[in-house]
Structure 1
């Protein structure tokens, strides 16, 4: 019975990433099988948002520190993707300030994704050494300053970034299956970190910093680890976004994108991995539906005209309602897991199996 209960707890503890991954897989299969290529492309964009928001959750959800700077890691990764994957002739024309070794290089997509993510993690490590010594509001303001610094540097480095204008020519062709794979990776990475010793220590710092410090937990170290891992996952999202659109600019990852990512996380549930995924899907579906309603809408034989920008207004209003009615988000701090009756059935099956084995052993002995 003890072994059965241990397995039951193990299944219950690690069911969340499996269920979320299977749910995304089913959604992708439905999109491919029953919708148009345009909707599939919209679904691809939503999966990229899943990677970004889950990356944000790794730090924000476990530390309780609201970060405004994680889109800076996406910026670093997106431009690194351009440097590594664009055709050399185009780079020499648009980005003449790059070193010759980068100008002549054109990496495969997978290697470019890893390299750009690691560069984002390195930037997170360097900046986090200073920022993660702070906590609370001071740390949030520091991350906002970091985002402004990244945007200013990239917007004014014309020879290597193209400046404030859009940088085109990034190879596209990103498929929804590749993005699904990275979304599953992000979910697994977030779950493994959250259930690890470092993740649990970070949560204890979030709940009671004084007690955690008294127990010997170094808040700086566990915050820095989560910050670097979060920067890597957000860097992966920046790479995918660059390959998804084929064109980037510093403003693509600035305040607008930052507020949208935070809104998805907060609406779903900032302290829950399930909430991060649910928030992305809920806001993505709502925005796509409302955007399609903009313009002329025919209802009961009458044609109505919805002004442009109505979608953003309604989404903002809906977020205000959610935050007023459910301050902890749609999911709160709960995680999706197997229903209780399935876990109970698993426990009974294990118990019956052990009894059968014991009975068979006794009969054979006799």
Structure 2
């Protein structure tokens, strides 16, 4: 492969893109005392949010007062699913708009959170413009809040997702991506960020455990699945290490991996989330494996985190080519129906910082 080609990764033309930005701040006693009731606080805050969002041409905005973590995915229909710990937004950025307050009667949130879902056709090209609109929104919002100097945290989430076996399904057309770092892209488009921005770039891979996989891996009397998970884990580590991918994890306990920068955050897993922590600056971190030997999961979940050495001026194209090469090696040992089963890769890019 030529040097110029290594700088890009060629993904299916049907690759889907998402971007959403969350901002939030603590709901203190001082803030709440400015209103006659909890419900009035939520209602007045949401009305203010929608009014200011309209001025900035932000058309898919959600106020969340349930302390549930927003998760966003592409879908041809727009809907929101709620669990004990998550709010899952499904929507098509090209078509769907909404303003909605997500609250539970009588529940006092630890923080007030706003979720801005990007809208339009070319999300990556317009990502800096979308982020700038959020910055302007915050600048207008802060003076109107009943408490001054509220500490607002901004989290910008972007990801692209595609089926690793798209070609086996007849989808031959591809498009080259350099996958530049978010802060670098924003700088080129005159979107100003503070110096102390936390960044995280990683890939998640989901492999469904269907009937063919079960037949291949399981004996008829298997009740302890630990040996099965260990075998899959060992093969994954072998494949990733062969491509110099050092920050890796496998999760097979029914929980959703939640990747965080362990340098800055305390990591505590929950009933629904398996926290995965890596310091991008660490040179040789230990691989991570979490599984429950007493049950067989529906999906094997894998995480590959990019380190500082994986970031180049051109972007993360080389890193993604390494990921694809490792996955190609890893999956060749498994009986996967490539023409029908979707193995979804999702490349995540996150930045976060405190608003000035």
Q: Same fold by TM-score, threshold 0.5 exceeded?
A: no
Q: Say which one has the larger Rg.
A: 1
Given the two structures, how large is their TM-score scaled by the length of structure 1?
A: 0.28
Richer in helix (by share)? 1
Richer in strand (by share)? 2
